[in-house]
């Protein structure tokens, strides 16, 4: 696979970092989506969250093969900062939860 190894045959650190970052981002979005499916009062938000979870899990399945090739293991979950964001959302409810969930997802997807 072009761009996945250095001239010495070692996996590219940039490629490894990208795959790791994708796994971490997906873990956050899956947890947020699951939380939104539980806490949201809006059917639209729930449907969006369900699609987000499905898409991220499907992406992770596709990335797994490449990750193995690049010797990248999947993280056990979100990083400390993301866990704090998830915890903050867990304290919200109703319209306040929905608005903060959408804001958080927009911010996360802009990073990519």
**Structure-model confidence comparison of residues 11 and 90, the more confident one:** 90
Q: What is the pLDDT of residues 94-105, one digit of tens each?
A: 999 999 999 999
Residue 36 CB burial class (10 angstroms; 0-12, 13-18, ≥19): buried
Superfamily of domain 13-111: Ferritin, core subunit, four-helix bundle (1.20.1260.10)
Task: Please indicate, yes or no, whether the overall pTM of this predicted structure exceeds 0.85.
Answer: no
Q: What is the pLDDT of residues 57-96, one digit of tens each?
A: 999 999 998 899 899 988 888 889 999 999 999 999 999 9
């Amino acid at each position: 696979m072009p761009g996945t190894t250095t001239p010495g045959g070692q996996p590219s650190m940039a490629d490894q970092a990208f795959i790791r970052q994708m796994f971490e981002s997906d873990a956050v979005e899956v947890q947020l989506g699951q939380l939104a499916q539980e806490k949201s009062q809006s059917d639209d938000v729930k449907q969006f969250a369900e699609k987000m979870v499905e898409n991220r899990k499907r992406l992770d399945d596709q990335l797994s093969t490449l990750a193995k090739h690049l010797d990248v293991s999947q993280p056990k979950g979100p990083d400390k900062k993301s866990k704090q964001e998830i915890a903050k959302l867990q304290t919200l409810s109703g319209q306040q939860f929905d608005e903060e969930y959408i804001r958080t997802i927009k911010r996360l997807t802009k990073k990519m």
